[in-house]
Amino acid sequence: QVELVESGGGSVQAGGSLRLSCVASGGNSNMAMAWFRQAAGKEREGVAAIDSVGLKTYADSVKGRFTVSSDNGRKILFLQMNDLKPEDTAMYYCAADRSWRSTTIQGLGGGSFLPYQGQGTPVTVFS
C-alpha cells in the first residue's frame, strides 16, 4: 500500500513562492506521480506530472512558474511554485500510480482514478 502525505501549503502574497512536498511510503522508484488542485466550487484539475521515466508535463496555466521534481527513488515529490497568483488558490493534492509512461498531465484529467491519493495541502494567494 502506498501512502502519500503532502505538506508545504500556506498563505502567500501574489508574486510570492511556495514549495510543496509529497512524501511517498510503500512505493517504488518507477512510480509516476502528479499534482492536482481543486479551487472552491471548481472541478479538480491537473497541475504537473512526472512519469515513470522522468518526463515532466505541466498545465498551461502554470508553465514557466511551477516546477515539478522528485528524488531518484520517487520517495518525495516537490512542486516549486513561483510568481503565485490569486487564481492559484486551491487545495493541492498529490496522486500516484505504480507506473505510467507517455501520459501528460492533461491526459490525467482530475486524477481521481489514480489508486494512490494524498489528503491535500491548502494554498492561498492574496493580492
Q: What is the pLDDT along the chain (127 residues), one digit of tens a residue?
A: 899 999 999 999 999 999 999 999 998 888 999 999 999 999 999 999 999 999 999 999 999 999 999 998 889 999 999 999 999 999 999 999 998 877 899 999 999 999 999 999 999 999 9
DSSP letter at 31 equals -
Q: Tell me the three cell numbers of residue 53.
A: 521515466
Angle at 74 between CA 71 and CA 80, to 5 degrees: 55
Measured distance CA(17)–CA(62) in Å, rounded = 13
- Is the Cα dihedral 37, 62, 10, 18 positive or negative? positive
Which 3 state secondary structure label does DSSP give 108? helix
Q: What is the pLDDT of residue 95?
A: 97
Measured distance CA(69)–CA(20) in Å, rounded = 10
Q: What is the pLDDT of residue 100?
A: 81
User: What's the chain's Rg over C-alpha atoms?
Assistant: 13
